[in-house]
Amino acid sequence: MELNNQAELSPYPVESSRQKENMSKKLLVLLKKLLTSKTGVVGLLIVLTVCLMALLAPIIAPYDPNKIDTANMLKPPFWLINGDLSHILGTDNLGRDILSRLIYGSRISIIVGILSVVVGGLIGVIFGLIAGYYGGIVDSLIMRLVDSFLAIPTTLFCIVFLTVLNPGLFTLIFVIGVTNWVMYASLVRSETLSIKEREYVKAAKTIGVSNFNIIFRHILPNVFSSIIVISTLSIAGTIITESSLSFLGLGIQPPAISWGIMLSEGREHLATSWWLSTFPGVAISITVLGIIFLGEWLRDVLDPRSRGTKS
């Protein structure tokens, strides 16, 4: 069974005519595989729930998340003394409903998580493809740039960047993305290096297919599964980074809501009103958990190398 899958999913070129048919078949196989992996199902469920929460926030949130209510400040969750069902998870230091904020907060956390990975991925993939495909001076230049980025700790880099650009949603996405691109670049580069030596690429070259077409039609599709795996896993890291930057006061600013902001705003109240930062903390942990489960499962399914093929 393993062998079968490996053959089906192995990154060998597929002619475009067969591609569609293959894609649906692949998807089916993937889904089937998913259902056999318990953690994969759990991961998918968590991620879907969070995404739904983000999408349907205005419908499911009981309150306006930014509605300040000085009469109801620091109300505990309903199961504690003084808590009641009007605010299931209690309220924060400005009397805002924590459940509603959690629901709305998922939006930015998810957007930042996904978009910054997309930004980093795009930059990284393009540079990686160019470096790997053209080699030579271009390659060494890009690789030195990669080394330079690697030599600066991510947090430090983000802080420097964010003091240059005023913090905001898109700045944040851009900055986290930019600090991540090296990971994709080096991955894609090394894969490109090996793929460009394969017969079908050489064949394409000899019949005069343009470099652009070779890169995007022949090489890119074959590095895609690795990119998917890495990016899924790094969404988790991104959500954590976002909250760390909020802790430093460099993240997204109110009235925008993210779990990171809630977590870091609530830290002042950790000793007295633990629910302020515990619930967003739990939300982050569960989401990250789900993403990691999904990512690891994707890796098992998509990346044959991780299954310990014998050398």
Packing angle between helix 154-164 and helix 220-247, nearest 10 degrees? 70
Among 126, 240, 303, 304, binds another protein (CB under 8 A): 240
As measured in angstroms, the least distance from the Cβ of 2 to another protein is 12
Q: What angle, rounded to 10 degrees, do the helices at 275-302 and 98-134 form? A: 30
Nearer to another protein among residue 212 and residue 305 (C-beta): 305
* Phi and psi, residue 94, nearest 5°: -115, 15
305 in contact with another protein (CB under 8 A): no
Do residues 75 and 66 touch, judged by C-beta distance below 8 A?
A: no
Tokens representing residue 286 in the block: 């569960």
- Report the b/e string of 248-272 with b at 16+ CB within 10 A: eebbbeeebbbbbbbbbbbeeeeee
CA distance 206 to 188: 23
Is 237 among the residues that bind another protein (CB under 8 A)?
yes
* Subset of 31-60 contacting another protein (CB under 8 A): none
234 binds another protein (CB under 8 A): no
Query: What's the closest the beta carbon of residue 201 comes to another protein, in angstroms?
Result: 23
Is 123 a binding residue for another protein by CB under 8 A? The answer is: no
String marking each residue 177-206 x if it binds another protein according to CB under 8 A:
------------------------------
Q: Does 159 bind another protein (CB under 8 A)?
A: yes
Residues between 94 and 113 with contacts to another protein, criterion CB under 8 A:
94
CA angle, corner 287, sides to 281 and 291, nearest 5? Answer: 145
The residue written with tokens 């629910």 in the block is: 275
The whole-angstrom separation of Cα 105 and Cα 55 is: 11
Cβ at position 145, least distance to another protein in Å: 6
Interacting residues with another protein (CB under 8 A)? 66-68, 70, 73, 93-94, 144-145, 147-148, 150-156, 159-161, 163-164, 166-167, 236-237, 240, 243-244, 247-250, 253-255, 260, 263-265, 267-273, 277, 281, 284-286, 288-289, 292-293, 307-308, 310-311
